[in-house]
Amino acid sequence: MLNFNLSSIFYLIPLYFLVIAPLLRQLFPSDPAFAPDSGYGSLYDDEDEDTSIQLNPEVLSLDDGVPVTCDLGSDTYRLHIFAQKPLVIYIENFLSGPEAGHLVNISLPHYTPSTLYSDSTHENSPNTTKRLSDRALLPRDAVVRCIESRARAFQGWKPHLYIERMWTQRYNVSGHYTHHYDWAGTARGRGGDRLSTFMVYLAAECKGGGTNFPRLRRPRDKKWCEFVECDGEEGNGEGGRNEGVTFKPIKGNAVFWENLRADGSGYAETWHAAVPVEEGEKVGMNIWSWYQPPRGRW
Ligand X SMILES: *[C@@H]1O[C@H](CO)[C@@H](O)[C@H](O)[C@H]1NC(C)=O
Q: Which residues bind ligand X (CB under 6 A)?
A: 98, 101-102, 105, 127, 129-130, 132-134, 172, 175
CA–CA gap between residue 216 and residue 227 (Å, rounded): 15
CB nearer to ligand X: pick between 101 and 219:
101
Nearest to 244 by CA among 106, 126, 82, 105: 82
Q: How far is the CB of 129 from ligand X (least distance, A)?
A: 4
CB nearer to ligand X: pick between 49 and 141:
141
CB nearer to ligand X: pick between 97 and 185:
97
Q: How far is the CB of 132 from ligand X (least distance, A)?
A: 5
Q: How far is the CB of 198 from ligand X (least distance, A)?
A: 20
Q: How far is the CB of 111 from ligand X (least distance, A)?
A: 7
Residues 6+ apart with CB under 8 A from 211: 199, 246, 247, 249, 255, 272, 273, 274, 275
Q: Write the single-letter amino acid at 269.
A: E
CB nearer to ligand X: pick between 145 and 218:
145
Q: How far is the CB of 113 from ligand X (least distance, A)?
A: 6
CB nearer to ligand X: pick between 175 and 235:
175
Q: How far is the CB of 164 from ligand X (least distance, A)?
A: 22
Helices and strands (DSSP H and E) totals, the chain:
5, 16
DSSP character at residue 33: T
Residues 6+ apart with CB under 8 A from 44: none
Counting Cβ atoms within 10 Å, is residue 137 exposed (0-12), middle (13-18) or buried (19+)? middle
CB nearer to ligand X: pick between 91 and 132:
132
288 DSSP β-pair partners: 197
